Structure 1
């Protein structure tokens, strides 16, 4: 236990200092427009050089500082949240391996080293999702791993195609070869990899399923590590997306993902899954603005979203911890009287998610919506942008109504309180950043004020849909009994909307029923059937018979030879005279 406590404290101090140094270095690199490209020759054998390359610029350093800050606070939070775990040291080491894989991915300009970090994230995330060792966790971990393997294969194919350019450092080829069809193909493969890692349609089913992991892991995964890896990779490859058919496809898919996740969150009653679907919605927003060519805005929202989403998960974890592991929001109510500090943090994070003015989410989200209003968008994408914004406010107000108002309705007799000092201190750091982080980053990333001139209707459209969505969510939450009866009456559309458009069904049963049945049939009929009969086993059987006859003929018995000779003579005579 002493060892586990010491590793938590050491991790907090080391990661916190590393975060501060990365942030200050990132500010210096940004101000001086300085980029550091480091090559480390690992092995040189005759004409073969294995080189490890690192790219340090303002983008990688600032993102690393945010990842390190959030992971340090999450590890400090985990010391109390996971105190009942006998193997907490192993848990902390897994989280540190997770962060290390993300660091490798962030600073790599080389597709092969990116693949190392990419696969490291996939492997450690599988270990963390199945951490609680039950059937549900195993199924969720397998769905997560297999969904991400599709992106791994796409990245491997992109590495193979990079051989056409004589190197794997993609930063050298993005601008000069963006017109060639090979780079368009590589861009398509990278987009496919990013879609699997950031859970865009049709790979969205694994993200809510990954909620089987411990809540501190969810706070880390859904804020700054696993699901943001795809967005960050596309930010690096953004020159390939400008004006291509891939960007139009990505705009449609990400808009649909944003809409689907916001709609599904309004029908969900699991606290962690509601927050997971809100992450999916925000990932769709980042992908949408990225596909339009505004990579700096996507990066800005990536950072601000990491702050308040980690806080939101940590608050949810504190509530679940006090509710004795009950995650159903219908069992909650009146939390503001039982846990006032946690409730305040939860409300701040929720308001930042909705884009409340002067909180972290407002600066990035409002700017994205205004730029979308200013751009040449078709009506479908424009409608998905603003309708999804209203849905965000809708499920946020619904969540606040269920958890904050009414009477306390616990399923267990347990006094809820704010006495978890280490959990509260971990949340306090992110609370401060959720309030001031957006303004601070907007001054750093956009030193020249961005003026977006729009008509009054478009300028106030984001505010209008947010207010309307909040009012609709509040009214629906109040009509919970009536809505339950209506949901029975409209069973099919409600199940369709609440089950992520049947994506979990299609990703599990839909995939396993036909392809796996066909695969088993193929194995039985070919690998274990005809190929065995005509291949190895058939050849073995025929050679075995021939060798037996040969051994019999080679027996040193004169009677056998004479009998055989007489038989052959008789056969020849019959053949000649017949």
Structure 2
């Protein structure tokens, strides 16, 4: 019953925010709401709400995906013992994401940002086993690096006199560098890419919501808001190189990965690199366009993967799958449609954003080496998508024991809505919101280079399936994220040992202070004040009065 209430409430809010975004975009309006929290030395600590067409449209897409996942969870999580706790965590996560989206102020961004990090950790360790715990610790430690950057930037902006992003400029390089660090960690760009494939230990509905459309896109959204401050700085070039290497590495890894959810996670990582790349070139609206479309078809991809895993008796290895369209035809049709949209098949939703991104790259003055890496990343996307097609559709089902699974109408309804949006959302958003921003003309051989790389991706898939490239000898290196996890292990080891020594020192220092100074001070005071309780009452009240005076 709770699922139905949340579902209808989210659908209603989704329609309301979508109509509001159309209204604000048509009349070119935005609204700012402000609440004063505290005033200290002429510095205002304020809570802001910014309502413009970008924030309202993003909120409407998140609420739409969340409502479909709620409907999906009614069947998928029906046997869970603690499903009320699961429901509460998911709703808190959605609330934190919305709070981060509507905030143009670093203080109010922090409320949503820290909520995302904490609740995502609780969702990753939901199944409470060793693998989930290990994945959750890696997730929270990687994200805390970026959170520390955001906290330090809040402290540095105290010197400016305000935490509003409108008071920033290009001269505050250290603040911009820390905000870039926060964005890189949350969106899992190199060298912080380790946590996203490991976070697949969470339940599949959590992966569909958290690791496709909300948590990982928070860093992209933060860079969209702050993009104008980065355009003339050195950091934007660093972001360009990090994003292109992330695209290349994740696409290469996905061709050798056998875990179904990890393949989809690596494709998410590849698309995040694509968004960051076009964002670093100065096209933040185009990055936002691809972010919205990717959120829709990637959440559907995870939902289809959950049903396929149930069919394979909770086995996620795609080498054991095959002929699945005989057992779950509607799910496989949805899976093929959103996978074609991921590849950028013509006139599917992903085509409108990915093709436009590639056309803008062809018109830029781009380093040839970087351009080759971008085109190879496109080929890898086609290669691992077609490899999934082949192993799921044409090979034989090789599970140890066949688990009878019947498709549910309620789950199919939730996937049907997202499937139609995977077909239509690209053209619809192009006509409604992005119609007047881009008009391009280029030579035919430049335009056909994308098509040639897509054919090359199909050839790589055939050679990979037949093992003609003999790459499995090197597959451990290719599928290990270039040993980034081992690098993290060696780095974290020394820092954790260093922190443990300082913790012991800090613990001793506090005990020393409390024993030798505070207790002796209280004993001496007690000589002059016979009634110890009255003195403590007066002392605490005087402290509170001083704090109240200085803060107000």
TM norm. shorter chain > 0.5: yes
Local SS of the residue matching 1:165? coil
Residues 509-557 of structure 1: per-residue CA shift (max 9 Å, x gap):
2234333345556667x6689x899x779989xx9xxxxxxxxxxxxxx
- 2:125 is matched with 130
Residues 1:320 and 1:167: Cα distance change in structure 2 (over 3 Å): same
Map 1:549-560; keep pairs closer than 5 Å. Answer: none
2:399 matches 1:404: no
Q: 2:70 pairs with 71, 75, 78, which one? A: 75
Local SS of the residue matching 1:244? coil
2:494 matches 1:514: yes
8 Å CA contact 2:43, 2:162 repeated in 1: no
Residues 1:527 and 1:86: Cα distance change in structure 2 (over 3 Å): closer
8 Å CA contact 2:45, 2:163 repeated in 1: no
- Looking at structure 1, the residues matched to 326 and 201 of structure 2 have their Cα atoms a distance apart, in angstroms, of 29
Superposition deviation, residue 345 in structure 1? 0.5
Structure 2 unpaired stretches of 5+? 521-552
- Looking at structure 1, the residues matched to 316 and 427 of structure 2 have their Cα atoms a distance apart, in angstroms, of 33
Q: 2:455 pairs with 467, 477, 487, which one? A: 467
- 1:278 is matched with 267
Map 1:11-160; keep pairs closer than 5 Å. Answer: 11-41=6-36, 51-160=46-155
Local SS of the residue matching 2:35? strand
Map 1:190-339; keep pairs closer than 5 Å. Answer: 190-339=179-328
- 1:496 is matched with 477
- Looking at structure 2, the residues matched to 48 and 239 of structure 1 have their Cα atoms a distance apart, in angstroms, of 24
- Looking at structure 2, the residues matched to 527 and 156 of structure 1 have their Cα atoms a distance apart, in angstroms, of 22
- Looking at structure 2, the residues matched to 199 and 211 of structure 1 have their Cα atoms a distance apart, in angstroms, of 14
Q: 2:434 pairs with 436, 440, 446, which one? A: 446
Local SS of the residue matching 1:225? helix
- 1:549 is matched with none
- Looking at structure 1, the residues matched to 121 and 41 of structure 2 have their Cα atoms a distance apart, in angstroms, of 39
8 Å CA contact 1:81, 1:321 repeated in 2: no
Superposition deviation, residue 376 in structure 1? 1.1
Local SS of the residue matching 2:282? coil
Local SS of the residue matching 1:237? helix
Q: CA RMSD in A?
A: 2.4
Map 1:3-14; keep pairs closer than 5 Å. Answer: 6-14=1-9
Residues 275-330 of structure 1: per-residue CA shift (max 9 Å, x gap):
00000000000000000100011000000100110010000011112222110001
Residues 1:423 and 1:532: Cα distance change in structure 2 (over 3 Å): closer
Q: 1:341 pairs with 321, 330, 350, which one? A: 330
- Looking at structure 2, the residues matched to 307 and 538 of structure 1 have their Cα atoms a distance apart, in angstroms, of 60
Superposition deviation, residue 445 in structure 1? 2.4
8 Å CA contact 2:89, 2:119 repeated in 1: yes
8 Å CA contact 1:332, 1:409 repeated in 2: yes
Residues 1:163 and 1:513: Cα distance change in structure 2 (over 3 Å): closer
Superposition deviation, residue 369 in structure 1? 0.7
- Looking at structure 1, the residues matched to 425 and 145 of structure 2 have their Cα atoms a distance apart, in angstroms, of 35
- 2:409 is matched with 421
8 Å CA contact 1:251, 1:381 repeated in 2: no
8 Å CA contact 1:369, 1:385 repeated in 2: no
Residues 1:101 and 1:536: Cα distance change in structure 2 (over 3 Å): closer
- Looking at structure 1, the residues matched to 405 and 53 of structure 2 have their Cα atoms a distance apart, in angstroms, of 43
- Looking at structure 2, the residues matched to 118 and 349 of structure 1 have their Cα atoms a distance apart, in angstroms, of 29
**47-56 or 232-241: which moved more?**
47-56
Superposition deviation, residue 455 in structure 1? 2.3
Superposition deviation, residue 453 in structure 1? 2.0
Residues 1:45 and 1:267: Cα distance change in structure 2 (over 3 Å): closer
Superposition deviation, residue 474 in structure 1? 3.2
Q: TM-score, normalised by structure 2?
A: 0.89
- 2:167 is matched with 173
- Looking at structure 1, the residues matched to 150 and 195 of structure 2 have their Cα atoms a distance apart, in angstroms, of 19
- 2:546 is matched with none
- Looking at structure 2, the residues matched to 107 and 454 of structure 1 have their Cα atoms a distance apart, in angstroms, of 38
Superposition deviation, residue 415 in structure 1? 2.2
- Looking at structure 1, the residues matched to 389 and 483 of structure 2 have their Cα atoms a distance apart, in angstroms, of 27
Residues 461-484 of structure 1: per-residue CA shift (max 9 Å, x gap):
11111121023213422x15x77x
- Looking at structure 2, the residues matched to 446 and 190 of structure 1 have their Cα atoms a distance apart, in angstroms, of 27
- Looking at structure 2, the residues matched to 261 and 43 of structure 1 have their Cα atoms a distance apart, in angstroms, of 45
Structure 1 unpaired stretches of 5+? 1-5, 544-578
Q: TM-score, normalised by structure 1?
A: 0.85
Residues 365-418 of structure 1: per-residue CA shift (max 9 Å, x gap):
00001100111111122122111011000100011111111222222222243x
8 Å CA contact 1:222, 1:309 repeated in 2: no
Superposition deviation, residue 240 in structure 1? 1.1
Q: Which has the larger radius of gyration?
A: 1
Superposition deviation, residue 43 in structure 1? 6.6
Aligned residues: 518
- Looking at structure 2, the residues matched to 54 and 527 of structure 1 have their Cα atoms a distance apart, in angstroms, of 40
Local SS of the residue matching 1:53? strand
